[in-house]
Structure 1
Amino acid sequence: MAADKFTVEPVAHVVGGRSEPTDDYWGGSQAIIRIDGERFTPEATKGLEEFSHLEVIFRFHLTDPTDLNLGARRPRDNPQWPEVGIFGHRNMRRINWLGVSRCRLTKVDGLDLYVEELDAVDGTPILDIKPWFSEFGPRGEVRQAEWTTQMLRPYFAKRAE
């Protein structure tokens, strides 16, 4: 299969929030998605305040490009969990370094989108922003591997002070 290449430009960047990517405790985190004012006007966000959640596509910009794993490995290197292939993970060790996050939209102020529980850090390039439509959620029964439930239990927990 021939590889089609194309250029993707950020439409926004994360401002504030966490500075270091970590595996857990994204609960309660707050940040701003600042849309590029050179290319967009506030009309680009018109109607967005009607939505409670966003789906955000971003680039894992802090990942070491030599830390790519296209095969199988144990999630978080935990020997208790099975080896899983790259497409069975949602981590940053991906060939295109893309992440997807669903976060809560709390306020729209012109080109600034105030969000909670966006699991991207300060400075992260945002490639696309979409309002979350519940109709695009899973249809039918949802199943997942048990190890994911164990691993993600603290993911959106609030960090103990």
Structure 2
Amino acid sequence: MTGETFEVKALAHVVGGREKPTDDFWGGTRSIIRIDSEQFPPDSVAGLEEFSHLEIVFRFHLTDPTDLHAGARRPRDNPAWPATGIFAHRNMRRQNWLGVSRCRLLRVDGLDLHVEDLDAVDGTPVLDIKPWFVEMGPRGEVHQPPWPTEMLRDYYAPSKDS
């Protein structure tokens, strides 16, 4: 099982929105997920407009491959937060550089999906697009340590540039 590799092909790219990744203030960021018309016909998005949110799997394409942290480290290098392992983080410093984001679908225009609050930058390769089903959300009580709440206080706050 270890060492398996898979070839994954981008099915879309992010157009617009932010040009550089930052830690906070993604709220109100609008961009387009442009689906590749060479791979997908217009009816590949049929019915998608009925959903309010999408779940997007993407590749952190701007990550420095030498900047991996498989062991424990402090989130955002903040000494006030505990050192936690790679699987207790959601950042880009991961072996496969995969990100997952839930964003609001504003409208579907052909193969262009207009979205808000997608925390991926212009040019990001999109590997999968899924509608958000409420039934696929967490089941049972949800809990987490206090540091993510503190760390992400401004994550989806409106941009300071707005």
**Aligned pair 1:116/2:116, yes or no?**
yes
Question: In structure 2, how many angstroms separate the alpha carbons of the residues matched to 1:27 and 1:66?
Answer: 30
CA distance in 1, matches of 2:56, 2:160: 27
Alignment of 1:26-65 (within 5 A): 26-65=26-65
Aligned partner letter, 1:86:
I
3-state DSSP of counterpart to 1:115: strand
On the 8 A contact 2:29/2:159 being kept in 1, the answer is: no
The 3-state SS of whatever aligns with 1:43 is: helix
Structure 2 CA distance for aligned equivalents of residues 89 and 2 of structure 1: 21
Q: Deviations over 1:47-106 (max 9, x none)?
A: 000000000000000000000010000000000000000000000000000000000000
Tell me whether 1:4 sits opposite 2:4 in the alignment. Answer: yes
Q: Structure 1: where are the runs of 5+ without partners?
A: none
Task: State the TM-score, normalizing by the size of structure 1.
Answer: 0.98
Asked whether 1:86 is paired with 2:86, we answer yes
Q: Counterpart of 1:84 in 2: which secondary structure?
A: coil
Aligned mates of 2:159, 2:76 — CA distance in 1: 19
1:146 aligns with 146
Structure 1 position 160, deviation (Å): 3.0
1:3 shift after superposition: 1.9
Structure 1 counterpart of 2:77, one-letter code: D
- For the aligned residues, what is the CA RMSD? 0.7
- Give TM-score scaled by structure 2 length: 0.98
2-side partners of 1:28 and 1:101: how far apart? 14
Counterpart CA distance in 2 for 1:75 and 1:11 is 31
Q: CA deviation at 1:155?
A: 0.1
Structure 2 portions without partners, runs of 5+: none
> What's the % identity of the aligned pairs?
70
Q: Which residue of 2 aligns with 1:158?
A: 158
SS at match of 1:73: coil
Match of 1:97 in 2: 97
Tell me if 1:125 matches 2:125.
Answer: yes
Alignment length (residue pairs): 161
Alignment deviations for residues 116-150 of structure 1 (CA, whole Å, 9 cap, x no partner): 00000000000000000000011111001100000
